[in-house]
Amino acid sequence: MPFARLHGGVESAEDDGWSAPVDAPWELTDGVVRLRRWRPDDAEWIHGVCQDAEIQRWTRIPVPYTRADAEWFVDVFVPQAWDRGEEFHLVATDVATDARLGSVGLVLVPGAPGVGEVGYYTAPEGRNQGVASASVDLVAAWAFGVLGLVRLELHIDPRNTPSLAVARRCGFELEGILRSRAEHRGARRDVALHARLQS
């Protein structure tokens, strides 16, 4: 049964009986960047990269970010959310070197059939080389083509210039500024709501 239909979404464009291949090796690639599922041995890398001030400033990871947070993420949260068909979190790696470059995740928005939200970060040393843009494009193609989603959203702080650039590069349109929409580290923040539709 197509995955999106399991969750009340629209039917997949390819109604091929796809179900979440939770145990199978799984990847998406454009030949330069590869997205694969997180593994337990990624915890050390996540812990290191999530000390970055920009990732802590703009994403919803816990702060301080501990090794236990990283281990819980890869060992518990990611596989359980994947198995429930609610969230799909992936690591972006370099096809040539297999080095880890960043993170991208797709969350099916509860109560909004056919709608997903994408979040991402890139390790500081890998920025401005198109990693996040490639990752979002790969996830979007999978979400629209395989999961049958019809709308993907990016929720971006209007001050986060690099993330706004990723949205533009990946064909997301700004639909509006949601004032004081998010609570972040004890303060209210605006959200620049961007969306891309299945074409």
Ligand X SMILES: CC(C)(COP(=O)(O)OP(=O)(O)OC[C@H]1O[C@@H](n2cnc3c(N)ncnc32)[C@H](O)[C@@H]1OP(=O)(O)O)[C@@H](O)C(=O)NCCC(=O)NCCS
Amino acid letter at 19?
S
Span of 25-33, 82-90, 129-137, 178-186 interacting with ligand X by CB under 6 A: 129-137
Nearer to ligand X, 10 or 109 (CB): 109
- Contact at 8 Å (CB) between 89 and 103? yes
Angstrom CA distances, 76 to 48, 50, 68, stand at 19, 18, 11
Total site size for ligand X, rule CB under 6 A: 22
Q: Is 160 in the site for ligand X (CB under 6 A)?
A: yes
- List 20, 48, 54, 117, residue binding ligand X (CB under 6 A): 54
Look at residues 131, 140, 145 and name the one whose alpha carbon lies nearest to residue 92: 131
φ and ψ at residue 121, rounded to 5 degrees? -150, 160
> Does 32 sit near ligand X (CB under 6 A)?
no
Binding of ligand X by 129 (CB under 6 A): yes
Of 38, 65, 121, 172, the one binding ligand X by CB under 6 A: 121
- Strand 115-122 and strand 151-156: the pairing is parallel
Instruction: Give the residues lining the site for ligand X (CB under 6 A).
Output: 54-55, 58-59, 120-122, 127-133, 156, 160-163, 165-166, 169
